[in-house]
Amino acid sequence: MPNSKGAVRDDSRKTVSYFYDAAIGNFYYGIHHPMKPHRIRLTHSLILAYGLYRQMNVYRPRTASSLEMTRFHAHDYISFLKRVQADNEKFIGKVPSRNFNVGYSAEDCPAFEGLYKFCQLSTGGSISGALQLNTKMADIAINWAGGLHHAKKAEASGFCYVNDIVLAILELLKHHQRVLYVDIDVHHGDGVEEAFFTTDRVMTVSFHKYNGTFFPGTGHMNDIGVDRGKYYSVNVPLHDGIDDASYALIFEPVMEKVVQFYDPQAIVLQCGADSLAGDRLGCFNLSTVGHGKCVAYMKRFNRPLLLLGGGGYTIRNVARCWTNETAVALDAEISDSLPYSDYFEYYSPDYELHVRGSNQTNQNSPEYLEGVKHRVFENLRHLPFCPSVQFHPAPDDSYDMIDEYGIAIDTADPDIRIPKPVKDRIRESLVDILDREEGGALSCNRNRDVAPPICRNGLPVSSVRQAGGSKNVAPHLTLANGQPVAASKDPYAFD
């Protein structure tokens, strides 16, 4: 595979950061609305049940500010999102030209309770993931609450209000000359394509259904970008019923050529699960195995990789899909038999991880796919190899992630036994993970089983073994002020 200065290490298992806020599942679009944020909670529950959290760094994302959102979105639009609620939408959005396609008569994008907070959490996870890739704190960052690719600069669209993908890419561009965006949602990634339609610093590649009427109605093969962005927008229109074999036949050669010609320094992959078989709004016939192979294929290029969610409206299948793809990112083998979780009954009657394709007719003939592939390759031949950017000082990051954790710990309430910043940083002891892999079990002692790595430098605090024993001694912890906590004391008690 091609390599470049922006490549991450490929000689060992990659460092994966995972962003999740428990509040994300509380938001509710409406009783008849197909978008259910609860699917993120289902996904997280399966990730916990499989124990995948032990193999990655888990973070609660920082909520995005209005200043961060207006790096792409219009100020009056973000101000509107702050104010609109279900009980005032008829007054705020009464003038059709000023309702930004939110609430009132916009069925796709209702004004539900906590709308702005939902946007902050979804966007904050994607920006935080981009920051970790920029600072090399992670090789792969995951935010399944992100991937809302339809939102426009001053308009909501297709269940999406704030385009977290565009904002994350803008963050990545501070440290990377070229960013590749890949979209495997059944719907065209129109909001992201539109945002970067005139630039060569971002190449967008979308695999989607297109017939001129299927939402959002864009994504024709002839839409290739304009001005400096000409040929940097790649659209791969597909028909109903495409299965794993046909999808691989078009996805893998197209992405190999794109990476060969463009040589991106970072990759953003939108993993919309509405391309799975049996989705409420989708019409493709992919299994979770075929969908996950797209993630595995992009991971092979060894570039900083941001994995985001997206569509997906049969929520039990969404959870299965993104849990499997979390395991793919971790190079972890997990059983097809689902472990017991808080939402185990959602997966009846088979209680299996993988969603399999149906007997739906595949309307994508080999000849059609070969023709699409040929057209894409012809467009790529117009590209100069590896477009460059003139040297300029890198803009400041949105915020200093490492310093933020240190400040939060320094200012934590001493009257709370486990302050929230410390609780966010609790990590299972590495030695206990090794004990479990060797057939042992956790000691069930919180002071030994977990150790919060709360140093300002962001490095985990290591634990040690007792001489001649297999159990852990209480880990020695270091506070942000550099003072050690005695092992004999409760490491969570703050004087």
Mean pLDDT for 375-393 is 78
Q: What is the DSSP code (8-state) at residue 22?
A: G
The helix (H) or strand (E) run that includes residue 123 is helix 115-134
Mean pLDDT for 432-452 is 43
Between helix 244-262 and helix 288-299 the angle, nearest 10°, is 20
- Which residue out of 44, 73, 150, 187 is catalytically annotated? 150
Amino acid at residue number 116: Y
> What pLDDT, in 10s, does the model give residues 275-333?
999 999 999 999 999 999 999 999 999 999 999 999 999 999 999 999 999 999 999 99
Which fold does the domain 16-380 belong to in CATH?
Arginase; Chain A (3.40.800)
> What pLDDT, in 10s, does the model give residues 407-428?
556 666 667 666 666 666 555 5
Q: What span, in angstroms and rounded, lies between the C-alpha atoms of 382 and 235?
A: 15
Confidence check: pLDDT of 2 > 60: no
- Total count of residues recorded for the chain: 495
Q: If you average pLDDT over each of 93-107, 198-212, 442-456, which comes out highest?
A: 198-212
Instruction: Classify strands 266-270 and 305-308 as parallel, antiparallel or unpaired.
Output: parallel
189 — pLDDT class (breaks 50, 70, 90): very high
**Structure confidence at residue 154 (pLDDT):** 95
Tokens of 333: 């083998």
Residue 97 burial by CB count (10 A; 0-12/13-18/19+): exposed, middle or buried? exposed
Top-confidence residue, 195 or 484: 195
**Structure confidence at residue 421 (pLDDT):** 60
Mean pLDDT for 119-131 is 97
> What pLDDT, in 10s, does the model give residues 90-105?
555 455 546 799 986 6
C-alpha distances out from residue 41 to 46, 147, 368, Å? 9, 16, 39
Q: Residues 16, 140: contact at Cβ < 8 Å?
A: yes
**Structure confidence at residue 385 (pLDDT):** 72
Active site residue 150: yes
> What pLDDT, in 10s, does the model give residues 214-262?
999 999 999 999 999 999 999 999 999 999 999 999 999 999 999 999 9
Q: Scanning the structure block, which residue is given the tokens 């409206």?
A: 313
Q: Is 32 left (phi over 0), alpha (psi -120 to 50) or beta?
A: alpha
Task: Return the number of other C-beta atoms located less than 10 Å from residue 391's C-beta.
Answer: 5
> What pLDDT, in 10s, does the model give residues 350-364?
999 999 999 999 999
Mean pLDDT for 375-390 is 82
Q: Where are the domains of the chain?
A: 16-380, 401-485
Q: What span, in angstroms and rounded, lies between the C-alpha atoms of 340 and 51?
A: 12
Q: Where are the beta strands (DSSP E) in 225-272?
A: 233-238, 266-270
Tokens of 97: 């030209």
> What pLDDT, in 10s, does the model give residues 30-81?
999 999 999 999 999 999 999 999 999 999 999 999 999 999 999 999 999 9
